[in-house]
Amino acid sequence: AQSVTQLGSHVSVSEGALVLLRCNYSSSVPPYLFWYVQYPNQGLQLLLKYTSAATLVKGINGFEAEFKKSETSFHLTKPSAHMSDAAEYFCAVSDIFGQGGKLIFGQGTELSVKP
């Protein structure tokens, strides 16, 4: 079975500071990993995805994530936070072999950005 754990339900940073959102996964097969962002009362937007190619994945809006198999982690980072980054972020894992592409989501992390 697959699972995702996001450490910290709420993260607060100052504008211009580093953003670090933590995600650890559990999977018995090679995983595909995703980060999605959700703004209030909206659906989810794909930020980036890891698909067993490069371990450092660059996404939209200046975000990137690094897949570390030894640590079973896929943390999301952004060097400099912007006010518009305030949103809910979800990490998700997919098992392409046995689940038909079903996504397992973490609990979500709410990012607040202070001026």
Partner 1 sequence: GAVVSQHPSWVICKSGTSVKIECRSLDFQATTMFWYRQFPKQSLMLMATSNEGSKATYEQGVEKDKFLINHASLTLSTLTVTSAHPEDSSFYICSARAPVQGADTQYFGPGTRLTVL
What does the binding site for partner 1 look like in residue numbers (CB under 8 A)?
32, 34, 36, 41-46, 49, 51, 90, 94, 96, 100-103, 105-108
CB of 16 to partner 1, least distance (A): 27
Give whichever of 73 and 94 is closer to partner 1, judged by the CB atom.
94
Rounded Cα–Cα distance for residues 85 and 25 (Å): 24
Report the residue number, 100 or 115, with the smaller CB distance to partner 1. 100
Min CB(33)–partner 1 separation in Å:
11
CB of 105 to partner 1, least distance (A): 5
Shortest Cβ 95–partner 1 spacing (Å)? 10
Residue 30 or 79: the one with the smaller Cβ distance to partner 1 is: 30
The sheet with strand 56-58 has its strands ordered as: 3-7, 19-26, 73-78, 64-68, 56-58
